[in-house]
Structure 1
Amino acid sequence: MKRTLSILALTSAALSTPAAFAASVSDFNHIVVIYQENHSFDNLFGLWGSVGGTPVEGLPAADEAHTKQVRSDGTTSYSCLLQNDANLTSPSPLATTCTDTTGASFESHFENAPFKIDSFIATTDTTCPNGVLKGSGLPGGCTRDLMHRYYSEQYQIHGGKQDRYVTGSDAAGLSMGYFDSTKLPLYKYLHLPTAPNYVIADHFFQAAFGGSFLNHQWLIAAKTPSFYNAVNDGGANDLHSVVDENGMPTSTPLYASPLGSSAIDNALTASCKPPAGRPATPASVVCGNYAINTIQPSYQPYSPSSSPAKRLPPLAHATIGDLLTAQGVDWAWYSGGWSNAAGIKNGAGWTNGAGPNCSDANALPNATFPYCPDKLFQFHHQPFNYFATYAPGRLERKLHLRDEAEFYTAARRGVLKPVSFIKPLGAENEHPGYTDERDGSMHVAHLIDAVLDGPNADDTLIIVTYDEFGGQWDHVPPPGQSRAGVHDGWGPGTRIPAVLISKKFTASGVDHADYDTTSILRLIEMRFGLPSLALRDSRVSALVKALKIGR
């Protein structure tokens, strides 16, 4: 039975049964992790409401102290939200209803408060890609993308005050936007009469500050990778960031860096010993040769336009895949568009014919056959491809790096691996800018349904979460930011959506315990008797409490 076929036509209704629980993590023989893109908890799940009679800590719980956004002085609250998304600006296309005079003045349609994106940009609006003006793009209701970088996010969090997301963003006021959770296809799916029970983890945080590359690395290794022997001469191949006295590596529409154009937001942390001509790195920021922002791998698939000197050298530290393999536990990373991108001719998901050119109309224009990545294939979303263990030609690569199409086959046939990670293609991963929220949420519902309609449904745990906040505000301070909790210099960062789903759950509920992305690793390690990968995943709470809530 395909429950997703009528999701959009149904009216959701909250479940009223007690919270879900499972006897033990050992009850699950299969763990499926669906890893989506770029949304904070308040941005996507903020209006979820109650589950099993327990309120989710969303937008209604947001206090003014962690909501009102302030200028770069750290204290002056804006009266309005500056907007630069083409469909949110004033006096056109929206009327000016607010004038901010707290500093450099600007006009706006928005007061300094969260606002519902759906009220201004509908899912059918022709604003894709990247939030172009209505009528000039494709349907989907896309907004523009928002900055989400390692140093900038720490500035935005502001020590747990959560009040500089607007100031530290290239998209300014858009960072305060949110979606109506009850209209999401995933919400509607989970509230069907035939829906599985689920647990919302409403204090789940991205493992590391910043963007997708780094958080994918933390999902599989609980560690920030190093760029060994990185160039440190201030030249074209020097990838170190240059950070100002406020910890910022760039200017934004509402923040002028004291360094001006000398500030550099690059792939690596700031140098601990900058070369002549570059300013000293502030003592308060993490420095070294660590890869923190988007960087290409050494192995195909990588961006065809990337320079070899700027690709991250192959990594050698341990991953969760290595631990599982050593224990004799099978696993796979299933990626949308992998066969096309990795040049696996005639593999599952291959759509580019026999050559000599890439024949799929959606392939990158500068792709060279047989490496035919989709235009929305994200190379930095493939974390295992950065490791020497999974280099092209190695058996480990063939066994464990697979196309998402194979996951559907495995689910249908009842041959799910004990551990499956799923990374949808760009068009289906919910990333603001190049895709729309509705289609991505629908894709998640279809993935869940594929598992629950398959023979392995009864002993499978599904975890749906997001890699990072995507530049979106959230009102709950992360652990280590004005409150206690497991943390280190890398994070955790902003709160992100997370939901656990299983047929083994007897009802639905909410888990308020603190978790971060490495809690998924901890759960896998506990289930299969694995050692910890690093300090963070040895200290965080596993998601076991979520399995036992209400017991």
Structure 2
Amino acid sequence: MNRTFQLLPLATLLSAALSGCGSTSTGVTTSGVVTGSYFRHAKVCLDNNNNGRCDAGEASTVTDNNGVFTLPGTAAVVVEIGTDATRFDPVTNIETPIIQPLVFRAPAQANQVVSAISTELQALMDDNNGDFATAKTMLAKRLGVSEDKLLGDHNKETDATTKTILKTEIDQSIERISEATADAGKSGDIALALRNRLTLDRISNIVVIYAENHAFDNIFGKFPGANGLDNAIQNNVYKQIDLDGSVLPVLPPTWGGISVAGVTPVVAQADTANLPNAPFSIDGPKFNLPLNAKTRDLDHSFFFNQMQINGGKNDRFAVASDAGGLVMGNYDGSPTRMWQKAKDYTLADNYFMGAFGGSFLNHFWLICACTPVYPNADTSPGKAKLASPGGADGVSLLLDTSKGITSVLNSNGRPPFLGNGAITPINSRFDKFYAVNTMQPAYQPSGNTPATGGDPTLADPNVATTLPPQTMTTIGDLLSVKNLSWAWFAGAWNDSLSNRTNIYNQTVPNFQAHHQPFNYFKQFAPGTQARTDHLKDGTDFQTAIQNGTLPQVTFYKPQGDLNEHPGYADVAKGDQHISDIIDKLKSSPQWKNMVVIVTFDENGGFWDHVSPPKGDVFGPSTRVPTIIISPYAKKGFVDHAQYDTTSILRLITHRFSLPPLDGLVSRDKALAASGSKPMGDLTGAFDFTQK
């Protein structure tokens, strides 16, 4: 294929009023290409007023089959790529339609190759008063390419490493450009929208605080402006069904009662009988259990969670739970401190947990967008933990009909479903033995003790729940390759290493070994430098906040009694702890360039009315609360964009120009195959024009 376009001498370009006041002098032209791969039939214009739009009176044309354009005059360039355009890949010779419109920009100083990268450059210039040289240096440094390679046609790049870096950045930036184009619509400020989505360089520190086990409707269902309980009631999308598919006349009781031992008032099983088939208030007049009262735990495991969601109907939560009607319980979250933080900053009300089921799997999806594997589980100690779902879909558990249970209302406990386990079988749905419910790390601190006479830093490998060390790539590995600082800070990490009685002790600190995902990976094994450098104690987190020495990426996991997990923790104590951490972060010397994301790992078995988007075999799953707190976060804003746990990884990936983890790519392919949008990267929560 022949592809030709004219590259004008720099002197010619500089003579033509490059600051954005375009020139249409006779004989002066701008010729270039719209790339990433090549965009055909895209509208190109000179952006004489530098507003990011093709306005009436501005010279315009349409790209040819090679993505090439020529315009009379010279100025900054805008490309409007509509759904009548196509994207042609010269490597595969595949032409794909444009589903979501895009707007590319290029400054007058570099308008011959217009791409997602030139659009990033223009956004950085908009953010720094038009300083082309500084923006170019900053972007090249972040990507790790030389400045002379930054703005070229990556399709013609001969250096394989540079070509891969540029292509990866283009593909990832196109996602954000698509979101910005949608943000602005047909008449909004597209330049501002692109600036907000693309100028992530202002962010120096990303802090992730990972709480436990509450669905969105469970705590934030009454938040003003959010898609909450009122919508569920108005749209009649809350009623639960029985084993035979009929609508339940009432909710089943909460087996064992709502309150745990020692809590007053006592809410026993009998007190919960015959509740209406609808959401109910845990802290309301009937039960009056305040936010500082511990309530019983609910099953929140991989197979049951999918059965509860029931293809998006969310109507089998009660029938597939071990807690009966408690699944429909909720709180008035307005007295919590984090509710106020959400009012002050941004609350995401369309954010889903990354994986079906519980904490164990969702912690993996937070750090690697991956599911752990147990090789040869059928011939290993893990065989005892193999699941055997009998449903035709390869994931549903079948009812043991020999028990004679025909309704959840007469089961006095969860109906007898067969085949639950921690490890998937290899079947029509799963190509490997995947560990999907709680397993223990092979390294201490672990819920499994060392083998008798064995290495004290290891867990006994012959125990069925000891997961073999994992070797997948994590976000930490990608950050380390680029010499970017990061750490996972865990409350009571040091205490649990020195004293095993702190692990799962049901009091203080109640260290949860399966909440420490990096401890499952071989590259962070005891004795490695990576473990010393990156796996830290919660006290180290507090010290780093005070000293202004937090790494560029921080994960913080509160110790068990402070993480809000039903059964062994309460909402109020964890809420106060996290709020106190936020206040300390806001007083840190690093605050001015910080983004804090407070989210919950999973729903804890509680019902939520919003259907998760259909993705891959592991998720996404039920909606959970997420708050974005930053000087750059939109104030008093409810963000309705689609996110999940992997959106945190996407933000880190985009901010630091990392290659995408395989799970991010496969998740988006699965979403696209089902007609869903790709997951966002949380940039919709930012307004970088704020000072």
Relative to the length of structure 1, the TM-score reads 0.76
SS at match of 1:215: helix
Q: Is the 8 A contact 1:511 1:549 kept in 2?
A: no
Mapped to 2, the partners of 1:300 and 1:410 lie a distance apart of 25
Pick the aligned partner of 1:60 from 201, 224, 230: 230
Corresponding residue for residue 165 of structure 1: 317
Deviation at 1:414, TM superposition (A): 1.0
Mapped to 1, the partners of 2:408 and 2:687 lie a distance apart of 45
Mapped to 1, the partners of 2:298 and 2:212 lie a distance apart of 12
Deviation at 1:390, TM superposition (A): 0.3
Pick the aligned partner of 1:314 from 454, 469, 478: 469
Partner deviation per Cα, 1:300-332 (whole Å, 9 max, x = no partner): 111145752221111111000000000110000
Corresponding residue for residue 95 of structure 2: none
Pick the aligned partner of 2:254 from 66, 75, 83: 83
Equivalent positions of 1:304-383 (< 5 A) are: 304=448, 308-309=461-462, 310=464, 311-343=466-498, 363=502, 376-383=510-517
Q: Is the 8 A contact 2:461 2:468 kept in 1?
A: no
Mapped to 2, the partners of 1:399 and 1:95 lie a distance apart of 49
Corresponding residue for residue 114 of structure 1: 279
Q: Is the 8 A contact 2:345 2:636 kept in 1?
A: yes
Q: Is the alpha carbon distance of 1:85 and 1:121 closer, same or farther for their aligned partners in structure 2, counting shifts above 3 Å?
A: farther
Equivalent positions of 1:437-452 (< 5 A) are: 437-452=571-586
Mapped pair 1:47 → 2:222: yes
Partner deviation per Cα, 1:91-116 (whole Å, 9 max, x = no partner): x967979xxxxxxxxx8251111111
Corresponding residue for residue 296 of structure 1: 440
SS at match of 2:207: strand
Mapped to 2, the partners of 1:261 and 1:115 lie a distance apart of 26
SS at match of 1:151: helix
Corresponding residue for residue 279 of structure 1: none
Q: Is the 8 A contact 1:22 1:547 kept in 2?
A: yes
Pick the aligned partner of 1:458 from 580, 583, 592: 592
Pick the aligned partner of 1:38 from 213, 236, 250: 213
Mapped pair 1:151 → 2:290: no
Q: Is the 8 A contact 1:167 1:254 kept in 2?
A: yes
Q: Is the alpha carbon distance of 1:416 and 1:375 closer, same or farther for their aligned partners in structure 2, counting shifts above 3 Å?
A: closer
Deviation at 1:85, TM superposition (A): 4.1
Mapped to 2, the partners of 1:173 and 1:37 lie a distance apart of 20
SS at match of 1:217: helix
Question: Quick one: which amino acid aligns to residue 112 of structure 1?
Answer: N
Deviation at 1:444, TM superposition (A): 1.0
Corresponding residue for residue 413 of structure 1: 547
Deviation at 1:238, TM superposition (A): 2.8
Corresponding residue for residue 202 of structure 1: 349
Pick the aligned partner of 2:397 from 241, 245, 248: 248
Q: Is the alpha carbon distance of 1:438 and 1:460 closer, same or farther for their aligned partners in structure 2, counting shifts above 3 Å?
A: same
SS at match of 2:599: strand
Instruction: Tell me the percent identity.
Output: 39
Mapped to 2, the partners of 1:549 and 1:476 lie a distance apart of 30
Moved more, 510-519 or 179-188: 179-188
Q: Is the alpha carbon distance of 1:165 and 1:549 closer, same or farther for their aligned partners in structure 2, counting shifts above 3 Å?
A: farther
Mapped to 1, the partners of 2:636 and 2:418 lie a distance apart of 48
Q: Is the 8 A contact 1:85 1:174 kept in 2?
A: no
Q: Is the alpha carbon distance of 1:535 and 1:378 closer, same or farther for their aligned partners in structure 2, counting shifts above 3 Å?
A: closer
Q: Is the 8 A contact 1:81 1:111 kept in 2?
A: no
Mapped pair 1:391 → 2:525: yes
Corresponding residue for residue 276 of structure 1: none
Corresponding residue for residue 103 of structure 1: none
Q: Is the 8 A contact 1:509 1:549 kept in 2?
A: no
Deviation at 1:288, TM superposition (A): 3.6
Mapped pair 1:141 → 2:141: no
Deviation at 1:60, TM superposition (A): 1.1
Q: Is the 8 A contact 1:47 1:180 kept in 2?
A: yes
Corresponding residue for residue 105 of structure 2: none
Deviation at 1:232, TM superposition (A): 4.7
Equivalent positions of 1:479-490 (< 5 A) are: 479-480=613-614, 487-490=615-618
Q: Is the 8 A contact 2:267 2:287 kept in 1?
A: no
Mapped to 2, the partners of 1:267 and 1:542 lie a distance apart of 30
Corresponding residue for residue 49 of structure 2: none
Question: Quick one: which amino acid aligns to residue 326 of structure 1?
Answer: V
Q: CA RMSD in A?
A: 3.1
Question: Quick one: which amino acid aligns to residue 454 of structure 1?
Answer: S
Partner deviation per Cα, 1:253-304 (whole Å, 9 max, x = no partner): 9298xxx9782322101343xxxxxxxxxx5x54641000000111111114
